[in-house]
A and B are shown apart, each in its own frame.
Chain A
Amino acid sequence: MPEAKTIQLDIVSAESALFSGQVLRVLVSGSLGELGIEPGHTALLSPLKPGQVTFTQQEGSVEHFYVSGGVVEVQPDHVTILADTCIRGEALDAEKATAAQAAAQAKLADQQAEADYAQALRELAQATAQLRMIQELNRRRKV
């Protein structure tokens, strides 16, 4: 069997380096929509929305990460994800995410706290993205 084409992926957050290795393809949620990146992709630079980073490793296993935002840089032979915060899919906490979502919604409903509107909106987007990812992971596990 011929060797499959791979691309070097590095995921780093301000706290630590989370992943570094050769992968077959990467899926990220860019600010303008979902991006699928395969080896040989043209150079691209885009901010990230809160959401999933999914990649397929050489042996075929699929890994999921949650990122709260950041930047993705694509070069034909490597992808670098500079994440604000990044959590491995399995480590996501559904209860915490639900609580964060409720808190953010409460903040949005509170008309007085107008100064923090953008912040609350961001928190809500992050919590919702986490929940969506947890649900998706659970569904996949059941199948």
Chain B
Amino acid sequence: MSAAAKIRSTIESTGKTRKVTSALEMVAASKLNKTQQRMAASRPYADKMLSVIGHLAQSNSEYRHPFLDARPPQRVGYIVISTDRGLCGGLNTNLFKETLKSMQAWQAQSVEVDVCVLGQKALSFFKRHQFNVLAQAAHLGDVPELSDVVGVVSTLLKAYDSGSVDRIFLASNVHVNTMTQKPRMLQLVPLLPAQLDQAPDHWDYIYEPDAKVVMDTLLNRYIECEVYQGMIENIACEQAARMMAMKNATDNAGDIIDSLRLAYNKVRQASITQELSEIVAGAEAV
């Protein structure tokens, strides 16, 4: 009987776990919609910004902004965006794996790596792996403010301006659809020519008040906006990944309960059969 009781208690506890995971799944599903909308709403701004900067890079300005010119890398900076909480499948793990691979490629060329992190998971990961964490921000919630991002970004931009960092990358997840999220390494600074569409003609803008002021404002804002967009997108990824992970967990719990119930019934039947045969044998003996 004790075997049957043990199985029964396992069924009960698995059932409770299933309740929790299905509740988490529903919470994630309801948040997902909102975060996806937020992501879609802020995307046009980033796209337009990039196209303006594309024009800017082709124009033949007398002032060449440092963000547009590459210099040989001696030290590179990464901005890594992760979630604050776990229980979202392999979202963070995949991103970190990809980021580490890209960092190790730099380290193999004896280029040093600095990291700025957004999100608790990235913070503890890169601290554990003894990376040089320049700036950090975590627990920014579901609706981060642009001002939360600015501090982290400006640390790296200042390092770039002073020449101590020669490349800045953004590592974050891209929301392909609800089922798939992909880690992405984006080179933020200097801007890659591939990011900008090329045109052959020679022309330039009229700048008001002057080229330096306008370009500084625009490029700084672009970087901030790109990182902010990455954060918003990462939140949508988090909810989508959590929803899928919790859905799988709920389904798996159901499967486990089914197989346990089968095992329980077999044990119960076996014990009844045994008792019956014992009674019959006892009756025959009398």
The interface bits of chain A over 73-114 (1 if a CB of B lies within 8 angstroms of the residue's CB, else 0) are 101000010100000000000000000000000000000000
Contact partners of B42 in chain A: CB under 8 A = 14-16
Determine the distance from Cα of A71 to Cα of B218 in the docked complex, in whole angstroms.
Answer: 7
Q: Min CB distance, A50 to chain B, in Å?
A: 15
User: For the complex, is B45 an interface residue (Cβ under 8 Å from A)?
Assistant: yes
Q: Given A12-B44, A16-B41: A43 and B208 within 8 A (CB)?
A: no
Determine the distance from Cα of A73 to Cα of B45 in the docked complex, in whole angstroms.
Answer: 13
User: For the complex, is B185 an interface residue (Cβ under 8 Å from A)?
Assistant: no
User: For the complex, is A31 an interface residue (Cβ under 8 Å from B)?
Assistant: yes
Residue pair A45, B48 in contact (C-beta under 8 Å)? no
Q: Given A71-B52, A71-B218: A45 and B206 within 8 A (CB)?
A: yes
Determine the distance from Cα of A8 to Cα of B104 in the docked complex, in whole angstroms.
Answer: 46
User: For the complex, is A46 an interface residue (Cβ under 8 Å from B)?
Assistant: yes
Q: Min CB distance, A137 to chain B, in Å?
A: 26
Q: Which of A12-38 contact B (CB under 8 A)?
A: 12-17, 30-32
Determine the distance from Cα of A57 to Cα of B50 in the docked complex, in whole angstroms.
Answer: 26
Residue pair B45, A44 in contact (C-beta under 8 Å)? no
Residue pair B205, A45 in contact (C-beta under 8 Å)? yes
Contact partners of B146 in chain A: CB under 8 A = 14
**Nearest B-chain residue to A45, judged by Cβ:** B205
Residue pair A32, B209 in contact (C-beta under 8 Å)? yes
User: For the complex, is B19 an interface residue (Cβ under 8 Å from A)?
Assistant: no
Q: Which of A23-67 contact B (CB under 8 A)?
A: 30-32, 42-47
Contact partners of B214 in chain A: CB under 8 A = 45-47, 71
Q: Which of B49-72 contact A (CB under 8 A)?
A: 49, 51-52, 55-56, 59
Sampled A-B contacts (26; CB under 8 Å): A10-B48, A12-B44, A12-B45, A13-B45, A14-B42, A14-B146, A14-B228, A16-B42, A16-B44, A31-B209, A42-B206, A43-B59, A43-B203, A43-B206, A44-B205, A44-B208, A45-B207, A45-B214, A45-B218, A47-B217, A71-B218, A71-B221, A80-B48, A80-B51, A80-B52, A82-B48
B residues near A (Cβ < 8 Å) are: 41-42, 44-45, 48-49, 51-52, 55-56, 59, 146, 203-209, 213-214, 217-218, 221, 225, 228
Sort A-B residue pairs by CB-CB distance and give the 5 closest, nearest first. A46-B208, A17-B44, A45-B205, A44-B206, A16-B41
